[in-house]
Amino acid sequence: MFYKVYLIILSSLFINFNIVSMSDDIAYFQQTNTDFKEILKANNNRIRKLKQELLISKQKNQYNYIKFCFLGDLINILKEINKIRVLGSFNEEVIHDAALLDRLFNSLVPFSIIPNIYYSLNSISYSLKQDRYVNFARFINFMNPILNFLLFDKREKQIEKNAYKISKYNKETNKTLSGEKFVQYNWLLFNKISPYLVFVLSRNYEKLALNSYNVFEIAKALSNMSEIVRKHFRYKVEMRGLYNYKA
């Protein structure tokens, strides 16, 4: 009898021990699960905050790039207006000085591409995800100052050295070139204003697949290519006197 009572008491103690042990385990796992959820929530908040900071940084970078382009275009417009103005000029000194100014401006190419390099480096992280047309436009805009230097600096050097021949030919032929000037002025104005006009309009158009900054980059690339064509025809008109002048 005593032996049976002993077994019953021992069994009760064993069961109670297991119940206590299981209760502790459940409480431990519940606490661990709660801690894990808190850690996961904190990490998600950090990731969300980091994405927001990256987005703000990207938008700021794009906005600064547009401001730089606008400032560069303002300077370029003044220079190009001066070049168009001297078309058909009889004044050797005016032609020479305009060519010299253009060459000085071209010598600043290394400085003008620094913002492009900075913008490109900051765009690497998301450029591979961009539309291929955006990436191509970005490449054109990056190369534009270098292309202008390679294509036109030599011509400006020829004009600078032969300003006398050009002015003499203009005086002998007595052509005002008003028609050519009119086309050049309007072409220049269109090339320089259109990217910013497209940018403003695109910000109010919700159905575009690309954001307004990418639209600006594409419009700017088209504008730069159009500018190269315009300059080619301007040089063709200006250097006519150099090739046709007979002393």
Full 3-state SS string of the chain: CHHHHHHHHHHHHHHHHHHHHHHHHHHHHHHHHHHHHHHHHHHHHHHHHHHHHHHHHHHHHHHHHHHHHHHHHHHHHHHHHHHHHCCCCCCHHHHHHHHHHHHHHHCCHHHHHHHHHHHHHHHHHHHCCCCHHHHHHHHHHHHHHHHHHHHHHHHHHHHHHCHHHHHHHHHHHCCCCHHHHHHHHHHHHHHHHHHHHHHHHHHCCCCCCCCHHHHHHHHHHHHHHHHHHHHHHHHHHHCHHHHHCCC
Task: Taking residues 218-232, report their average pLDDT.
Answer: 96
Measured over the CA atoms of residue 193, residue 99, residue 95 and residue 89, the dihedral's sign is negative
Q: Does a structural domain hold residue 47?
A: no
Q: Is residue 57 part of a domain?
A: no
Q: Which of 200, 179, 190, 183 is nearest to 224 (CA)?
A: 190
pLDDT tens for each residue of 153-178: 999 999 999 999 898 888 888 877 88
| 183, HSE (Cβ side, Cα atoms, 13 Å) | 10
Return the pLDDT at 240.
Answer: 84
Helices 92-106 and 163-173, axial angle in degrees (round to 10): 130
How far apart (Å, rounded) are the C-alpha atoms in residues 73 and 33? 60
Given the structure tokens 């990207």, which residue do they identify? 58
Q: Residue 30: inside a domain, yes or no?
A: no
- Give per-residue pLDDT as tens, 48-76: 776 666 666 667 777 888 888 898 899 89
Residue 98 belongs to a domain:
yes
63-88 burial code (b ≥16 CB/10 A, e <16): eebbebbeeebeebeebbeebbebbb
Q: Is 53 within a domain?
A: no
Q: Which domain holds residue 146?
A: 72-244
Name the nearest CA neighbour of 66 among 202, 188, 206, 214.
Answer: 214
pLDDT band at 19 (very low <50, low <70, confident <90, very high): very low
pLDDT band with cut points at 50, 70 and 90 for residue 146: confident
Q: Considering the domain boundaries, does residue 14 fall inside one?
A: no
In this structure, of 20-29, 108-117, 142-151, 234-243, the range with the lowest mean pLDDT score is: 20-29
CA distance 99 to 105: 10
Which value, in Å, is the radius of gyration of the alpha carbons in the chain? 36
One-letter amino acid at 195 equals P
The answer to whether residue 163 sits within a structural domain is yes
Number of domains the chain is built from: 1
88 pLDDT exceeds 80? yes
**pLDDT computed for residue 13 by the predictor:** 47
Q: What is the mean pLDDT of residues 215-238?
A: 94
93/238 Cα distance (integer angstroms): 15
Interval 176-190: pLDDT, tens: 788 999 999 999 999
Task: Determine, yes or no, domain membership for 39.
Answer: no
Q: Give pLDDT, residue 152.
A: 92
Mean pLDDT check: name the lowest of 25-34, 70-79, 97-106, 178-187. 25-34
Residue 7 confidence (pLDDT) above 60: no
d(CA 164, CA 153): 19
